Structure 1
Amino acid sequence: MGSTSSCCASTSPKLRSSARSRPEDSQEEPEKICEEPSYSLQHISDRENGEELNLESNPSDHPRANTLFLSKSQTDIQDKRKRLYVNHHHGTSRKRYSSCSTIYLDDNTVSQPNLKFTIKCVSLAIYYHIKNRDPDGQSLLDIFDEKLHPLSKCEVPEDYDKQNPEQRHICRFIRTLFSSAQLTAECAIVTLVYLERLLTYAEIDMCPGNWKRIVLGAILLASKVWDDQAVWNVDYCQILKDITVEDMNELEREFLELLQFNINVPSSIYAKYYFDLRLLAEANNLTNPTEALSRERALKLEAMSRLYEEYKNLSKTSPQRSVSVDNLTMTRWVPAILS
């Protein structure tokens, strides 16, 4: 037991420092320390920093990482900013700016985005993904290849993976799905998060031959995760008449596996994508119609803010409890009609 304790004392960092501080053991202890092998253990903070650096390369998981669509649009945005600068100084800009007496606001907020405007922004982000894709990167997986899994009975052209779609075609495809399935604007932002997460995890790019099925898979997953009343796969088969339920099930299963079943979207990630979409829209002169802030509109915004604060305070003070069907008592919120 004595030899064991002395061995432990020679290898313990704390006991080594205390041994060096005692003058009476200064002649014998250094020789024992030199004879023992040194072990370098990684500190837990080093491991956390390493994981944080890995997360920073993935914008769909880290709030400080730049979104992929905003990075891929920088080249085109710089040219458009130059044209906007010239138009502004020549008096051709239609954008209205707020002043001390008049404030212009739109109806697009982070908690309640405008559906039409958000779909346009998401389609523009997808357009830049396709246009500025890596020519040497991996583009097609079989599950997303429209040639192998067509969305309609119409024959796919031979150059289906060569011609880039226009932004309005992408917007029409997304708007059709959202309108038919009655999805919300928040679901469109979550769709973009899942899309970029897929591109990062699977290390693929969007191209003319796979963008429709990638977008369809992201919308299918986002509608089930975000909305309380999820859309069934068979409902999408009624929207896209020529696709089968088996194909939709396989698309959803493969999409989840490529995402490594990571479907969590924190509020910080959601907010980052929302504001980056607004930056993208502003750079492309895609603005939501604004109106001057009137007294009635200011009171409406104040009422909405007060209702949100009351709901937040109530959720903190009253924890949710499970109830049986026999004694079902639930708090019902009456929607406020503000006119």
Structure 2
Amino acid sequence: MPISAKGSVALIGSFRQRYPEVLAAAQIFANAGLTVKSPPICRIVDRGREFVRFESDPPESSDHELQAATLEKIFASDLVYVVNPGGYIDRTTAYELGCVHERGMAVYYAEPPKDLPIAVPDGTVVDARRLAEVIAGGDPGPAPFRRPGVAALPTADIVIFTIRSDHLCVLLVRRGKEPHLGMLALPGGFVRPGESLEDTAKRELLEETGLEESGIRMEQLHTYSRPERDSRGRIISTAFVAVMPDPPEVTGPSDARAADWVEVEEWLWGPNSSLAFDHGEIIRHGLEHIRARLEHTTLATAFCNDFFTITDLRKVYEAVWGYKLDPGNFHHRVVEETSGFVVKTDKVRRSGPGKPPALFRRGTADLLDLPHLRGRRTP
């Protein structure tokens, strides 16, 4: 099917080193009646960062925000034109090129790539002026190379639980951009070139909440891949789950308006959930994961500070499981029946009248030799 002269094109290439050539090709397509989705046809004002800045870019935007916005424009185009004088394709261009090939988009090249082992079918290396003339004339031109559009952009989301005022809370941000502008969501974002999923989770946690990952032990929870989960396209998210004690206040310095600890209640994932994307489902899965972990591991101590009372530990179970436990039975099971769970210290907590409670610290065990199974909830 021919692309009409009212179609759109995105140009990719080394903006830092070859922007005059990119700009010249963009102007050719614009003169032929096509909409140039990316890059903006304007002046570069900052070449010194990982992603160059154009006059039209918001000055406060971070590199990953600009990358995400650029990819959205590329994916919304009818075709992609690679401007690569001398066959050179830089690292960022290679990443973008891989993304568009995975989505099955039409791709053309100014010159055959020399430094990238990639399939370049006959007829897809074409001068920008010739390609613009073919499109403007209603001729379908050379057949683009298309792959099945089944791959996706990877993202990482983070589910962090804590106890505040005896209530289980989860860390959420309020989105500062579309889609789902203003809605609550888990911290997270797109994987950058050269990053692992774990690296992305740590970086996004710091950028969106101001929370350092140091001391937070994150583990993979699940991968979410339903095609309709994100309106921006096929985006697959790997969720990480973690718990922490006594969390600091958090902020939302990047693409999140605000960040805060929110009490975990069923409205977060129920039919009337106001969370963005499928983040309610992710929280529900994360909650069930830590509930099950409390039965067979010493994870409960990760909710506590270095020194804690047995009452502190019992309140962790009560907050996570959602019902009260018998104090005497709990103390007997934890202190006397389960080896390696907690270790009594010579310290006490002096906070009021009466005998001060003893303070404990974490033991050496990771698994409970006697599982602490959930019972039946009491009203």
Q: Indicate the TM-score class for this superposition, using the shorter chain for normalisation.
A: under 0.3
| Larger Rg computed on CA atoms | 1
Q: State the structure with bigger RCO (CA 8 A, min sep 6), 1 or 2.
A: 1
Q: TM-score, normalised by structure 2?
A: 0.23
More helix, by proportion = 1
Q: TM-score, normalised by structure 1?
A: 0.25
